[in-house]
Chain A
Amino acid sequence: MQNEFEKQVQQKMEELKLVPSAPVWENVEKQIRKKRERKRFLFFLLPVMLLAGAGILWMLEQGRQGSLQSLDNTTIKQKAEKNNFENRASNPQTKIQTPVTQGPEKTKTNSEIETSGADTKKKETGKDPFVFSKPFNRVSKSKIIQPNEEGPVIKKLSAEQFRQPKTVRRKENMPNNGVAVTELDPKNNSIPPPVEKKEQFQNNQKLLPIISANENPKEQKTTGGVSEADSVKKEETLRLVKPLDSSAGKKIAGAGNKWEKIFTFRLGESMYKNGIFSGRKSLMDYVPNANTGGGFSPVYDSSGSGKKGFSFAIGAGVKKNFGKRMELTAAVQYHYYSTHGKVGEKKNGDTAVFFWGNRLTASGFYTNTGTKNYITEYGIIEIPVSFHYRLIKKIPLQFSAGASYGRLLHSNALTFDASRNFFYYNEKNNVKNFISIFSSLQYRIFTKNRAKIVTGPMVQFMPSLLQRENRFASPHLFFAGIKTDISF
């Protein structure tokens, strides 16, 4: 308990007023700016690293796909041709009258078209036109031909165009030489005689230095929650500096909440699902059984197709707190999905296909032999709206659920033609608008910083179908990964 002496000292110390010199503020300001710049740099580093990582992964995937294709060219090509094209060529019923540029009335079988096209290109380029590192479907688009119309002039693509690889455009101390306002008067410092000081310290020979034990910076935060009745003022001080945990304080703090900016990132894997709880089953999963010699009846191959692929999302949005536990966020993000599937040999040349009763011309197709890896990509712009609920008051763990609207930006997904047993690109078969539902469990980290980071696992399911027509499967996209939101 403080007595009269301590009260007098306290009172005197309250009267003490000193004015700091000007450089102090200058140095404070300098340090604030420096720290802010460092924070800003780190903040922008995160998305850049994410993008760079995504780019590297993408490039690696591309490289792997390329090497697989090279291998296929030398070993599997002959087998694929034997299994599919020769059989089809020998069957007169599979002959399709296809107008080609060489002559408006000229009729050829598939095999003739393909063979002649390939031969021509081989002669032109000196290379095998069936070697592709880029899905042809981005280069040309199918065109609907009305039954009564004369066939259109088919756009022919050179082998060089097909062979082009996918490219990614990627792109202190205060000098303190300022005059101290309060100069120490040496006369005032003359009271304690040096002799007394020495005597005092000579008595303290056994003093143990404990400085090293006290150097833990965490001690700064040690306030000591123990309160003794010996000091009323101390209790007040403690209460003032103690972190808020009362409801009133949080209500006050929450009352000033406005919309906060957030940056959202997702990193994980995407795959096809036939339903939330069902196994993998998709268009890509149907490949001919090797035992049937590449017959037309597709059989489900659970061994190697329809594998999950890399997926990421990056976006920005806003967040608002509702009460102590609830939050609502809305954002706009670009979401990239990919899945790995198996197709066969790439066949160059135009061929006629029927889609929804319309006759289309596909500029090339993939056979269904399941010998080559094919990465199906989807680039979707999404508007996710999610609701977050803090499960336990004292633990910064929140459950989130929401839905998002998506619009397809780009895709190279293939359509399967069952009657002819091949895959081709048909832009018209791709669904453009999607609805997704998602859920996540996120933990808030770096709570003491102004930038709040919440991160945790999330799953997303797209109930919308990816393709309009699909006889064998109804693929839905499924994403599982880590979601990170940075708000400030």
Chain B
Amino acid sequence: MTTLIVNLLRTLLMDHYILVKNCLKGKIAAQKQLYDLFASPMLSVCYRYTRSITDAEDVLQEGFVKVFFNLNQYQFKGELGAWIRRIMVTTAINYLKRNARYQSELVYQDEHLHAVNNEAHPEIKMEAKELADLIRQLPPGYQTIFNLYAVEGFNHVEIGKVLGIQESTSRSQYARARALLIQWIEQKDKGIKRAVYAK
């Protein structure tokens, strides 16, 4: 009984409770409010999975339509932002699979690649957007796996299930993507240093 009351109070005190309820009632103003609240962070999520801002906005649009039509499944357990983010990630992955521009590059190797040194962890000095742009220049297969593992926190088993690949493939692809990204970050850092030293 106490648990029920505590949970009830917690739910009612949640900022998004009334907002979600109003969205479920079909109130456009509430839906716009929800969109304004989460559009910016979610565009960042979509941006990391796609190659252009236009594609990212397409994914964002599709994702928000899904959010509004599945909002009744959100049962106020956990953060609303995390729930929406999950929808955006799924939408982005499906967008890549569907879109012809990504299909040719969206391939995952089943064979184990040569071992890559993954122990290196350089300090990232660049801006968030610069790093995001670097991630976006990874081949789409690498890019998706890197985003899912490093940013979203999926493990390789889950990545395998989401992408329909083997766990070992996910591991090797991630290792390759990570090594490539570290290499680029180091090059970028050297370039910055050179530029600084030039001054």
The smallest beta-carbon distance between A324 and chain B, in angstroms, is: 12
A10 touches B109 (CB 8 A): no
The closest CB in chain B to the CB of A4 belongs to B121
Whether A176 touches B103, Cβ cut-off 8 Å, given contacts A35-B65, A200-B139, is: no
Q: Which residues between 141 and 191 of chain B lie within 8 Å of chain A, taking CB atoms?
A: 149-155, 157-158, 161-165, 178, 180, 182, 184, 187-188, 191
- Across the interface, A180 reaches (CB within 8 A) one of B57, B73, B98, namely B57
The closest CB in chain A to the CB of B181 belongs to A9
Q: Which residues between 51 and 101 of chain B lie within 8 Å of chain A, taking CB atoms?
A: 52-54, 56-58, 60-61, 64-65, 68-70, 72-73, 75-79, 82-83, 86, 90-91, 94, 97-98
B182 touches A240 (CB 8 A): no
The smallest beta-carbon distance between B148 and chain A, in angstroms, is: 10
The closest CB in chain A to the CB of B52 belongs to A184
B39 touches A24 (CB 8 A): yes
Whether, in the assembled complex, A213 has its beta carbon less than 8 Å from a beta carbon of chain B, the answer is yes
- Across the interface, B60 reaches (CB within 8 A) one of A16, A20, A231, namely A20
Whether A240 touches B65, Cβ cut-off 8 Å, given contacts A192-B137, A251-B7, is: no
- Give A450 to B154 CA distance when docked, in angstroms: 30
- Give A183 to B154 CA distance when docked, in angstroms: 29
State which size class the interface on B falls in. Answer: 35 or more
The closest CB in chain A to the CB of B24 belongs to A450
- Across the interface, A174 reaches (CB within 8 A) one of B61, B75, B94, namely B61
- Give A244 to B47 CA distance when docked, in angstroms: 30
B44 touches A9 (CB 8 A): no
A228 touches B107 (CB 8 A): no
The closest CB in chain B to the CB of A227 belongs to B155
Q: Which residues of B contact A28 (CB under 8 A)?
A: 35, 61, 64-65, 68
The smallest beta-carbon distance between A223 and chain B, in angstroms, is: 7
- Give A213 to B131 CA distance when docked, in angstroms: 31
Q: Which residues of B contact A9 (CB under 8 A)?
A: 124, 131, 135, 150-151
Whether, in the assembled complex, A168 has its beta carbon less than 8 Å from a beta carbon of chain B, the answer is no
Q: Which residues of A contact B58 (CB under 8 A)?
A: 173-174, 176
A209 touches B133 (CB 8 A): no
Whether, in the assembled complex, A171 has its beta carbon less than 8 Å from a beta carbon of chain B, the answer is no
Q: CB-CB contacts of A162-192 with B at 8 A, as 1s and 0s?
A: 0000000000011010001111110011011
What is B's interface to A at a CB cutoff of 8 Å?
Answer: 3-4, 7-8, 11, 21, 24, 26, 28, 31-32, 35, 39-41, 43-44, 47-48, 52-54, 56-58, 60-61, 64-65, 68-70, 72-73, 75-79, 82-83, 86, 90-91, 94, 97-98, 103, 105-111, 120-124, 126, 128-135, 137, 139, 149-155, 157-158, 161-165, 178, 180, 182, 184, 187-188, 191
Known contacts A176-B58, A180-B57; 17 additional CB pairs below 8 A are A4-B121, A5-B182, A15-B128, A19-B43, A20-B43, A191-B188, A192-B134, A216-B164, A223-B86, A224-B154, A234-B155, A240-B86, A241-B86, A249-B7, A251-B4, A253-B76, A448-B73
What is A's interface to B at a CB cutoff of 8 Å?
Answer: 2-6, 8-10, 12-13, 15-21, 24-25, 27-29, 31-32, 35-36, 173-174, 176, 180-185, 188-189, 191-192, 197, 200-201, 204, 206-211, 213-217, 219-224, 226-228, 230-231, 233-234, 237, 239-241, 243-244, 246, 248-253, 255-256, 448-450
In the complex, the 10 A-B pairs of residues with the closest C-beta atoms, listed nearest first: A240-B78, A5-B121, A224-B158, A234-B153, A180-B53, A233-B153, A214-B164, A16-B128, A207-B107, A15-B128
A–B pairs, 26, beta carbons within 8 Å: A2-B150, A5-B121, A5-B182, A13-B131, A20-B57, A25-B39, A32-B68, A32-B69, A35-B69, A181-B53, A184-B53, A191-B191, A192-B184, A201-B105, A207-B108, A207-B109, A208-B109, A210-B165, A219-B161, A231-B155, A240-B78, A240-B82, A244-B77, A248-B7, A251-B8, A255-B4
